[in-house]
Amino acid sequence: MSTIANNENYALTLEDLRHPWQPDWILTKDDVQVFLNLMDHYKYLVEDEKDWYPPYLVFIESFNGKQMIGTIRSKWFMKYDPFLAGKDNPIYILRINGVKV
């Protein structure tokens, strides 16, 4: 668990910000790229890409010695969320198709 912001009363973690479909192992921008490459490789398992990718991914970036939140948003961010629409989690779909994730 990585702490992003911290003050006397509140500590914000990446877990607090990530989409329910974002795997726990995504911490950095490089991890996001690994995840997106994996998802791109198997997106043929669904009909609509909006149902395959989370609408956003968050990660930690270091900038001038400070840790900051980075975000990558899909083109349907704030318009559609497959999790809220009740679609199957793509990690679950990958696992039932024999992909070890």
Per-residue model confidence as pLDDT tens digits over 83-98: 999 999 999 999 999 9
Predicted TM-score of the model (pTM): 0.82
Find the helix or strand (DSSP H, E) in which 96 lies. helix 90-96
**Distance of alpha carbon 37 from alpha carbon 43, whole angstroms:** 10
DSSP codes of every residue in 17-35: HS-TTS-TT--SHHHHHHH
Measured between alpha carbons, how far is residue 28 from residues 24, 47, 51, 84 in Å? 11, 29, 23, 25
13 falls in which pLDDT band (50, 70, 90)? confident
Is 101 contained in some domain?
no
For 10, the domain range is 3-96
Is 79 contained in some domain?
yes
12 falls in which pLDDT band (50, 70, 90)? low
What is the domain count for the chain?
Answer: 1
For residue 39, the one-letter residue type is M
